Structure 1
Amino acid sequence: MQKQFYAIIDIGSNTMRLVIYLQEKAGRLREVENVKAVARLRNHLRDDGTLSKQGIDILIETLQGFKEVVDTYDITHLKCVATATIRQASNQEEMKTTIKEQTGFDMRVLSEHEEAFYGYLAVVNSTSLTEGITVDIGGGSTEVTYFKDRKLVHSHSFPFGALTLKNFFQNDSAQDKEINELRSFLRSQFDTLPWIKNKHIPLVGIGGSARNLVQIDQNKKKYPLAGLHQYKMQLSDIIQVSNYLTTLPFDQLQKVEGLSKDRADIIVPAIEVFHCLYQTMQADSFILSRKGLRDGVFYEQLSEDLGSFLFPNVLEDSIQELINDFDLDPKQILHVQFLTRKMFQCLREQGLGNLTTNDWTILKRASYVFNLGNYIDSESSAQHTFYLLANRTIDGLLHMERLKLAIVASFKNKTVFKQFLAPYKSWFLKEEQKKLRFLGALLKFAYCLDATRRQVVQDIDYKVKKDAIYVTLYCNKDWMPEAYQSEKQKKHLEKAIRKNIELEFVDIKQKP
């Protein structure tokens, strides 16, 4: 099948960006090119409301550079959208004509509502959040939305952004008095929206300033997992980053790990927006969405066939991508899942291991991607499985959920489990560690029951006596390989439940 490439040009007030996506087999878009230019068009918006000739020249020159990149791909669809500065410029029609003549691009100027809507759409189609408030700080405007049950309820565009808020500071090093004045202004602005107050739900940050905040926090904490999308912070984390940055002279600020040099002069006012909005809504957390306006534009296009802007299940789509990317066998996945469920029910009914509905959720997710690393190397499959799942962005999973998935889906034995868990040991209580090891051992055992991928074990019965669990496995083919592998593996499960497991493989014709 011919590769389908999609391109979007985002003309923002601070930066301009070209992103090119490749459509995957599962239908989702994967980013293959990302070109950024710091144009700062906001600084070229004159008092009479027009974008200056210098600003227009920067705009055209940047777009011509983007066109050279675009022309190296066979693009299926290209969209060129502009936000606050172009929206506010009284000579935007003149710019549209010039851009069309010199680059061939049709520039679409987004309304305030459209800009907010696309940010919201990106969040609900790339996370598992059902309720939240999104905030996207641009150079010249700040978009805020409230969604509930994944549906957009309210949206608002404030006429200030990181570049305009920078005017609260006399120079590049903010003073305490100036920060307090900025906070007072922001709180008065947020107080005008009753629907954001006292919500106790996640605040979802979109855009470059939010990404930089997260990158700085991760670097300060020496955060061991890769990826920014769906990273979670608390108010205390935001305050610590803000306090750290405001103590630095500007030359040192420019060298902070995780902070783009071109954002050094606007990062403090941007973080104060997050800080004050978090307090106004009394959020329960701050979560970064790596997906934003650009993604939202294409999510709208991709969802046309669905009859709805919302993808039905974000996490299922992400797992399907993993299944496709690593050539996992759907038939084997479903069978291992069936066997896992049988064993899980057996143990839960007997009160072994304190198993909960949430444990089954983790186990079910892990059953889709167990032994995924075998695609790379069978000998070190567990290591590859853990690394890939722990460090790959999985839409619909927060970082902690992704880590639990990686730990369970990569289970090999107690030693390897401890090795994988070591950098994250402080993240879990001892009981949580034991539970994850138990779930991993259970899944590995079920996987051994289908060692040859022939779906030999068709059903499971069990009897529990004081000393042991007696498991009868009904088979429709020769079961010798499955018997060998499961006998070898069952010790890890026995240690977890503190009972012996006695296995009996019989012909399915003997089933009562």
Structure 2
Amino acid sequence: MDVSASADQKDVEWGPFERPLFSDPSVRHLSRVGVVDVGSNSVRLVVFDGAARSPAYFYNEKIMCALGAGLSETGRLNPEGRARALAAIKRFQLLAHGMEATPLTAVATAAVRDAEDGQDFVDQVHRETGLRINVIPGAEEARLSAQGVLLGWPGSYGLVCDIGGSSLELAEIKGGQVGRRVTSALGPLKLREIPGGRKGRRAYIKQVVAELLDQMGSQRDRLFLVGGSWRAIARIDMDRQAYPLHVLHEYRMSTKAIRATADYIRESDLNELRGRCSISSARMELVPFASEVLTEIVSAFRPHDIAVSSYGIREGMLYQQMPQALRDRDPLIEACRFAEAKDARLPGFGRTLYKFIHPIFRAAKPEKQRIIKAACLLHDVTWRAHPDYRAEVCFDNATRANLGGLKHKERIFLGLALLHRYRNKREGTSFENLYGYLTEAEQLQAEILGKAMRFGAMLWLEADAIPGEFRWYPKKRVLELRLSEAAWPLLGEVAMSRLKSLAGSLDATLDVRMTR
């Protein structure tokens, strides 16, 4: 048997991991796995864990090495950056061993693939650490980044724009598939070496973006922004608009906002802005160049809307290995199921609770039904928090947790529903500045959902035992409750008080009966 041929086949089948991560399509849990991303500007270790379809960041560390600094002039990796990158990888190897996340998988992008000493660096890393770095071409980098977006937004359509230190990749996605892909030298490390100052850069950027437009064609759908420089610009946009929910994933920006933020960056004291937005000095040096690129891209491609994605190449590597049956699952629901199984007092009751309260929300659209289901799965996962703070912990967890497939408004709705799971009134919390992002009708709907869960949680029998049945007649404003004889003793004073509070929010008359 040809051993090398067998190894090559394994590489093709499993990609950089060289081993199956999701061998069973029915898998719910991801065994701990570590990825090292050797970029042109930073070297990062991410260790994934948690729900297979919605992996969480067990550990995440980034070192700004600027491997690609000066590459256009010297053709070689930045010597100081190379030393820092090697030291970082040695540290990451030790950390991963302690976390039981070995063997690590490593990929390198533009700087290493373009530098004349890139292979020498790869060989040195392997010699001194045992870690084998996979150097991926630009088209593959674009594909993996696009797959990372699909991990968070199944079935998405639009254009994925991934900016690194030395390159910028574009990939189109449609119906869960990656289409055309291109790479370019529009990374900010290279742009700052373009002669002619800002005028020279603008001419160069305009020319390259025009070429990208010719290759990719008109793209009027959503633009997904992947990469640290885009996330830094999003942070600054949040600062400019005093946006209170500092979650970068799914943050939306308009073309008008991007232009305004580019002006804001140009007119601001960068040191002051850096400190206010918690951006590293190394990253902040590149932000003005990146903002010039983004302004030209949105002007040329004219996207319908613009969304920031925290998922990129590393998540795309996981997505590549997922069986289709796993890809087809909802990442939000999978993450909530995992949280319930790990932290709830009665795992499995969330599904029963959803079935019990569903008649009240029968008219809700499918996109709202999934949020209701997520709330039911999460309704009890923060029970360990002190009772005085449990409601706020619920809200904070929902709005800031690593949950994929959630718009910011949906995060706030979910958080408000879970807050009402533990308290009747939403006034007097530290999150009141976020409520205004929902309409009054949406706030009331979240309140009703929370109170329905608050009452339903009083009717525990067994995880899969439905205690009774709600019937909701919105035109008559009548809420009927039919409780089984076995569940009837659960309708004590506190439970009855919660039921009346739910009816009050529905502006409904109560009709409660026991069924035999």
- Secondary structure of the residue that 1:411 maps to in structure 2? helix
Query: Which deviates more from structure 2 when the two are superposed, residues 383-392 or residues 395-404?
Result: 383-392
Picking from 377, 389, 395, the partner of 2:398 is 389
Residue number among 239, 254, 258 corresponding to 2:259 in the alignment: 239
- Check if 1:8 corresponds to 2:39: no
Deviations 1:459-480 (A, max 9, x none): 4375969976372514141512
SS at match of 2:277: coil
Cα distance in 1, alignment partners of residues 483 and 370 from structure 2: 26
Whether contact under 8 Å (1:146, 1:153) holds in the other structure is: yes
Moved more, 238-247 or 427-436: 427-436
SS at match of 2:103: strand
Match among 403, 410, 415 for residue 406 of structure 1: 415
Q: Which moved more, 1:265-274 or 1:399-408?
A: 265-274
Q: Deviations over 1:268-289 (max 9, x none)?
A: 1212322222233322322221
Please state how far the C-alpha of 1:406 moved relative to its aligned partner: 1.3
2:436 to 383, 407, 426: 426
Give the equivalent residue in structure 2 for 1:202.
222
5 Å matches for 1:167-206? 167-168=193-194, 177=199, 180-181=202-203, 184-195=206-217, 197-199=218-220, 201-206=221-226
Measure, in 2, the Cα distance between the counterparts of 1:98 and 1:429: 58
Q: What residue is the counterpart of 1:352 in the other structure?
A: none
Structure 2 residue matching 1:375: 3-state secondary structure: coil
Q: Is 1:101 matched with 2:155?
A: no
Q: TM-score normalised to the size of structure 2?
A: 0.83
Conserved in 2, the CA contact under 8 Å of 1:125 and 1:311?
A: no
The answer to whether the Cα contact below 8 Å between 2:125 and 2:131 also exists between their aligned partners in 1 is: yes
The DSSP-based 3-state class of the residue aligned with 1:105 is coil
Specify the alignment match of 1:154 in structure 2.
180
Structure 2 counterpart of 1:39, one-letter code = C
Could you tell me how far apart the structure 2 residues matched to 1:423 and 1:231 are? 17
Structure 2 residue aligned with 1:460: 469
Does residue 438 (structure 1) correspond to residue 486 (structure 2)? The answer is no
Structure 2 distance, partners of 1:321, 1:461, is 28
Q: In 2, distance between residues paired with 1:169 and 1:338? A: 65
SS of 1:191's equivalent in the other structure is: helix
- Which position in structure 2 is the counterpart of 1:351? none
Aligned-pair CA distance for 1:342? 3.0
Distance 1:73 1:356 in 2: 42
CA drift of 1:317 comes to: 1.7
Q: What secondary structure is seen at the aligned counterpart in 2 of 1:77?
A: coil
Alpha-carbon shift at residue 396 of structure 1 (Å): 1.1
1:273 alignment counterpart: 293
For residues 239 and 39 of structure 1, the distance between their equivalents in structure 2, rounded to whole angstroms, comes to 29
Change (3 A) 1:94 1:335: closer
Q: Over aligned residues, Cα RMSD in angstroms?
A: 3.4
Segment of structure 1 superposing worse, 80-89 or 415-424: 415-424
Tell me, yes or no, if structure 1 residue 290 matches structure 2 residue 316.
no
**What is the percentage of aligned positions where both structures have the same residue?**
19
Contact 2:202–2:292, Cα closer than 8 Å, also in 1: no
Deviation at 1:59, TM superposition (A): 4.7
Residues 252 and 435 (structure 1), Cα distance of their counterparts in 2 relative to 1, 3 Å cut: closer
Q: 1:166 to 1:418 in 2, by over 3 A?
A: same
Q: Secondary structure at the match of 1:30?
A: strand
Instruction: Identify which of 486, 505, 512 aligns with 2:514.
Output: 505
Aligned partners of 2:41, 2:475: CA distance in 1, in Å? Answer: 70
Shift of 1:395: 0.9
Distance 2:227 2:474 in 1: 59
| Structure 1 Cα separation of the partners of residues 193 and 329 of structure 2 | 43
Q: Mind listing any 5+ residue stretches in structure 2 that lack a counterpart?
A: 1-29
In structure 1, runs of 5+ residues without a counterpart are 349-354, 508-512
* Amino acid across the alignment from 2:434: Y
Is the 1:219–1:258 contact (alpha carbons within 8 Å) kept by the matching residues of 2?
no
Q: Which residue of 2 aligns with 1:335?
A: 352
Structure 2 residue aligned with 1:215: 235
The structure 2 residue matched to 1:30, chosen from 36, 47, 56, is 56
What SS does structure 1 have at the residue aligned with 2:420? coil
Describe the shift of the 1:418–1:183 C-alpha distance in structure 2 as closer, same or farther (beyond 3 A).
Answer: farther
- More displaced, 385-394 or 185-194? 185-194
Deviation (angstroms), 1:180: 4.6
Kindly state the Cα deviation for residue 253 of structure 1 after the two structures are TM-superposed.
5.5
Counterpart amino acid of residue 437 in structure 1: E
Q: Which of 1 and 2 has greater Rg? A: 1
SS at match of 1:24: strand
Question: Aligned to 2:152, what secondary structure does the other structure show?
Answer: coil
Aligned equivalents of 1:90, 1:109: Cα separation in 2: 13
CA distance 1:337–1:275, change in 2 (3 Å):
same
CA shift digits 1:35-64 (9 cap, x unpaired):
333222223436574547666555544444
Is the alpha carbon distance of 1:419 and 1:286 closer, same or farther for their aligned partners in structure 2, counting shifts above 3 Å?
farther
Give CA-to-partner distance per residue, 1:224-272, whole Å, 9 cap, x none.
3343222222222222221111013555555452332102221112123
Asked if 1:86 corresponds to 2:109, the answer is no
- The aligned amino acid for 1:497 is L
C-alpha spacing 1:371/1:220, structure 2 compared with 1 (3 Å): farther
Aligned pairs, number: 487
Does the 8 Å CA contact 1:26/1:320 hold for their aligned counterparts? no
Cα shift readout 1:451-495 (whole Å, capped 9, x = no counterpart): 555777644375969976372514141512225444212333333
> Please, which moves more after superposition, 455-464 or 280-289?
455-464
Counterpart code for 1:88? D
Q: Does 1:369 align with 2:378?
A: yes
Correspondence for 2:22: none
Distance in 2 (CA, whole Å) between partners of 1:203 and 1:416 is: 39
